[in-house]
C-alpha cells in the first residue's frame, strides 16, 4: 500500500485571497480535507468533487473531535495512500495545535509538509487598521494565548513579564479571560491608559473592531460589542487606527449583495464587488443551458451564408451559438459576409471575443431600440435572430413586415430555477441582505415568486432592489418589487454604479 501525504495547511484569517498558492494547489489536489474552523465558502469550493471532506469542529449540540482522534484520522487517511489536507485557520503552527499534529505524524512515520498561512495576529489586524510594529511606537510584537487562567499556578504565560514588555501584545483566545488579564497587566505596572483594540472576524465582510484602554478592558462592568473568538491587541500602535483603517472604509463595506443572474454571469461580477468590500452571495433565479432539440439551430448554423443579418440578443446567445458552431466542425468563416447586430454592450463584447465587431449596437439595451436601429437596414433582407427559447417577440414582430425573411432560432434554454439552496433562504429570512440585483424581467418575476415562499423576519428596509433598466423595473413592479435604484447605462456596470452612487449619498448624509 503506498503511503500518502499530509499537508498541514494554513487557510489564513478569512478572506480567501489571503490563502497561499501552495495551499490552493494542495486543496485542489486533495483526496481528503479535514477542517474544523469556519472556512470561507470559496476555499471549500476548491475541494475536488470526489474528495472526502471531513468537519471535525464544534457543531451545535456536538463536541469537537478530540485531538487524539484527529491525529489518528490524519494518519489513517494517509496510510491508505491518500493526499490529505489538514486545513487550519491562520497559520498551522500559531496556536492551532498544528505542531502536535505534526509530532503525531512524525511518530507514526507519515510524511507531511507544512504550508504556512497568514496568522490572524498579522492578517486580521491589518484588515482592522492595526499595524503590529512601527518605528516610532513599537519595536517588538509578541503573540500570546489568553486561554489559561492568569491566577492559576498552571498558567503557562508569565503575565508580569508582559506588563514590562514595551512592544505590541497580541492575545489570541483571550476574550473569556480579558478582564483578569488586563487587571494583572495593570497590577504589574502596565499603564492603564495603554490603548487596546478588540477584533472579531477580521478580514471577513462582517468584521467588528472596537478600541478602548487597558483600564476599560480591566473593568468587568464594561460591555463590548466584540464577541469571542476575537483578538485583543494591546499597545501604542492602536492609536494610529484612524489613519490606517482602510477595510471598513471600502465603498461597499458591510454590505451583502445577492446576485440573481445565471451562475456564470454572476461570477463575473463577484470579484469586482468583493474588491469594493461587499459580501457576495450567488443565488441564480434562472439558469441557461444548451438547447435539447438542436435541429433548428443546426440547420441555421449550416446555412449561415444565406443570411444578410445575424442578430444576438444576449451574451449567452453568442456563447451557445459559437459553442455549437465549433462543435459541428465549422469555424468563423461560416458567418461569411453577414452583417451582425448586438442588443447592447455586453453582447457586443461577447462577439469581440470571437473577433467580430457588431455593425449595429443600440446604446439603450432594449429590443424596441434594436428594432428601430435595424429597420433602415433590413428592407428586403433575410435576418436570423439568435435567442433564448423564451422571451419577448418584439424583434420578430417589428422586422417581419419589412425584411424578406426573418428566422427566429432558439440557441439556448432559459428556465426558472426550481428553488434556492437553504443557506440563501436563510439569509433572506434573517434579513441579512442589502441589495438584490434584478437584471431582466424573467429574473425579477422568478425572484418575486421564490421570495414569496419564504417567511422573512419583520421587514427592516434593509433589503433593496437594483434594476438594470426601465423594462426590468416595470416587470419588477408588476411582480411586487419596487426598485430603489435603476441603472443609467443598461449594463451590469451601470447597475453597480447605481448601487455605489446610492451608498455614497447615504454615507455622505451620515
- Is position 451 an interface residue for ligand SAH (rule: CB under 6 A)? no
Three-state SS sequence of 315-332: HHHHHHHHHHHHHCCCCH
| Secondary structure element (H or E) that encloses residue 436, with its range | strand 435-438
- CB contact set of 243 (below 8 Å; sequence gap of 6+): none
Residue span 169-208 as binding mask against ligand SAH, x where in contact by CB under 6 A, dash where not: ---xx-------------------------xxxxx-----
- Is position 211 an interface residue for ligand SAH (rule: CB under 6 A)? no
Min CB(119)–ligand SAH separation in Å = 3
Min CB(37)–ligand SAH separation in Å = 8
Nearer to ligand SAH by C-beta: 227 or 462?
227
- Is position 229 an interface residue for ligand SAH (rule: CB under 6 A)? yes
- Within 86-115, the residues that bind ligand SAH by CB under 6 A are 88-91, 94-96
Q: Which of 23, 30, 74, 120 binds ligand SAH (CB under 6 A)?
A: 120
In angstroms, the Cα distances linking 110 to 72, 82, 190 are 11, 11, 46
Give the closest residue to 76 by CA, choosing from 114, 110, 27.
Answer: 110
Total residues at interface with ligand SAH (CB under 6 A): 22
Stretch that binds ligand SAH, among 156-164, 225-233, 261-269, 342-350 (CB under 6 A): 225-233
Min CB(124)–ligand SAH separation in Å = 4
- Annotated catalytic, 91? no
In angstroms, the Cα distances linking 53 to 50, 69, 82, 97 are 9, 16, 13, 20
Stretch that binds ligand SAH, among 224-232, 316-324, 401-409, 436-444 (CB under 6 A): 224-232
Which phi and psi angles does 439 have, rounded to 5°?
-115, 5
Min CB(209)–ligand SAH separation in Å = 10
Min CB(89)–ligand SAH separation in Å = 5
Min CB(118)–ligand SAH separation in Å = 8
Sort residue 189 into left (φ over 0), alpha (ψ -120 to 50) or beta: left
Classify 249 as helix, strand or coil: helix
- Is position 367 an interface residue for ligand SAH (rule: CB under 6 A)? no
Q: What is the DSSP letter of 217?
A: H
Give the closest residue to 138 by CA, choosing from 158, 109, 167.
Answer: 167
DSSP for 112-178, written as a single string: EEEE----HHHHHHHHTT--S-BTTTBS-EEEEE--S-TTSTT--S-HHHHHH--SEEEEES-STTH
- Within 286-325, the residues that bind ligand SAH by CB under 6 A are none
- Annotated catalytic, 36? yes
Cell of 303: 446555412
Nearer to ligand SAH by C-beta: 4 or 205?
205
- Is position 438 an interface residue for ligand SAH (rule: CB under 6 A)? no
103-118 in b/e burial notation, b at 16+ Cβ within 10 A? ebbeebebebebbbbb
Residue span 338-357 as binding mask against ligand SAH, x where in contact by CB under 6 A, dash where not: --------------------
| Secondary structure element (H or E) that encloses residue 209, with its range | strand 208-213
Q: Which of 231, 280, 335, 438 binds ligand SAH (CB under 6 A)?
A: 231
Catalytic one among 173, 298, 308, 464?
A: 173
- Within 318-337, the residues that bind ligand SAH by CB under 6 A are none
- Annotated catalytic, 173? yes
Classify 260 as helix, strand or coil: coil
Q: Residue 345 and residue 368: Cα distance in Å, rounded? A: 16
Stretch that binds ligand SAH, among 66-74, 118-126, 291-299, 371-379 (CB under 6 A): 118-126
In angstroms, the Cα distances linking 80 to 31, 109, 478 are 11, 13, 59
Catalytic one among 15, 31, 36, 265?
A: 36
Min CB(110)–ligand SAH separation in Å = 21
Stretch that binds ligand SAH, among 117-125, 238-246, 331-339, 416-424 (CB under 6 A): 117-125
Nearer to ligand SAH by C-beta: 94 or 217?
94
Q: Residue 390 and residue 392: Cα distance in Å, rounded? A: 7
Residues annotated as catalytic are 36, 58, 173
Given the rule CB under 6 A, which residues bind ligand SAH? 13-14, 88-91, 94-96, 119-120, 124, 172-173, 199-203, 229-231
Amino acid at each position: 500500500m503506498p503511503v500518502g501525504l499530509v499537508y498541514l495547511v494554513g487557510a489564513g484569517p478569512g478572506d480567501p485571497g489571503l490563502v497561499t498558492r501552495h495551499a490552493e494547489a494542495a486543496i485542489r489536489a486533495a483526496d481528503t480535507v479535514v477542517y474544523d474552523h469556519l472556512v470561507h465558502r470559496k476555499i471549500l469550493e476548491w475541494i475536488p468533487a470526489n474528495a472526502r471532506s471531513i468537519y471535525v469542529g464544534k457543531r451545535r449540540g456536538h463536541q469537537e473531535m478530540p485531538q487524539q482522534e484527529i491525529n489518528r484520522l490524519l494518519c489513517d487517511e494517509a496510510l491508505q495512500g491518500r493526499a490529505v489536507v489538514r486545513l487550519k485557520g491562520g497559520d498551522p503552527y500559531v496556536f492551532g495545535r498544528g505542531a502536535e499534529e505534526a509530532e503525531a505524524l512524525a511518530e507514526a512515520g507519515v510524511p507531511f509538509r507544512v504550508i504556512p498561512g497568514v496568522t490572524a495576529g498579522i492578517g486580521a489586524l491589518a484588515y482592522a487598521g492595526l499595524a503590529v510594529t512601527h518605528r516610532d511606537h513599537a519595536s517588538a510584537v509578541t503573540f500570546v494565548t489568553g486561554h489559561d487562567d492568569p491566577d492559576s499556578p498552571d498558567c503557562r504565560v508569565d503575565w508580569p513579564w508582559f506588563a514590562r514588555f514595551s512592544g505590541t501584545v497580541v492575545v489570541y483566545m483571550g476574550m473569556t479571560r480579558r478582564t483578569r488579564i488586563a487587571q494583572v497587566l495593570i497590577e504589574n505596572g502596565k499603564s492603564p491608559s495603554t490603548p487596546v483594540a478588540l477584533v472579531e472576524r477580521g478580514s471577513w465582510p462582517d468584521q467588528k473592531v472596537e478600541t478602548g484602554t487597558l483600564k476599560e478592558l480591566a473593568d468587568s462592568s464594561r460591555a463590548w460589542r466584540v464577541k469571542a473568538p476575537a483578538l485583543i491587541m494591546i499597545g501604542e500602535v492602536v492609536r494610529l487606527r484612524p489613519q490606517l483603517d482602510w477595510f471598513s472604509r471600502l465603498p461597499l463595506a458591510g454590505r451583502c449583495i445577492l446576485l440573481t443572474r445565471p451562475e456564470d454571469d454572476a461570477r463575473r461580477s463577484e470579484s469586482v464587488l468583493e474588491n469594493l468590500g461587499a459580501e457576495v452571495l450567488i443565488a441564480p433565479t434562472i439558469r441557461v443551458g444548451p438547447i435539447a432539440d438542436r435541429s433548428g439551430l443546426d440547420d441555421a448554423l449550416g446555412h449561415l451564408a444565406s443570411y444578410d443579418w445575424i442578430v444576438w440578443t444576449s451574451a449567452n446567445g453568442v456563447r451557445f451559438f459559437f459553442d455549437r458552431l465549433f462543435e459541428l466542425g465549422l469555424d468563423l468563416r461560416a458567418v461569411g459576409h453577414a452583417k451582425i447586430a448586438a442588443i447592447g454592450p455586453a453582447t457586443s463584447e461577447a462577439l469581440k471575443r470571437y473577433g467580430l465587431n457588431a455593425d449595429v449596437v443600440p446604446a439603450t439595451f432594449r429590443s424596441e431600440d434594436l428594432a428601430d436601429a435595424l429597420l433602415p437596414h433590413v428592407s428586403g433582407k433575410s435576418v436570423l435572430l439568435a435567442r433564448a427559447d423564451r422571451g419577448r417577440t418584439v424583434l420578430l414582430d417589428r422586422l417581419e413586415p419589412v425584411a424578406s425573411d426573418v428566422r427566429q432560432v432558439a440557441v439556448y434554454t432559459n428556465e426558472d430555477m426550481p428553488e434556492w439552496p437553504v443557506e440563501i433562504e436563510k439569509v433572506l429570512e434573517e434579513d441579512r441582505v442589502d441589495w438584490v440585483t434584478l437584471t431582466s424581467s424573467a429574473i425579477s418575476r422568478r425572484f418575486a415568486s421564490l421570495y414569496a415562499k419564504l417567511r422573512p423576519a419583520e421587514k427592516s428596509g434593509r433589503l433593496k432592489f437594483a434594476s438594470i433598466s426601465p423594462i426590468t423595473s416595470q416587470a419588477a413592479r408588476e411582480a411586487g418589487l419596487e426598485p430603489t435604484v435603476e441603472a443609467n447605462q443598461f449594463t451590469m456596470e451601470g447597475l453597480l454604479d447605481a448601487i455605489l452612487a446610492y451608498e455614497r449619498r447615504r454615507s455622505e448624509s451620515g
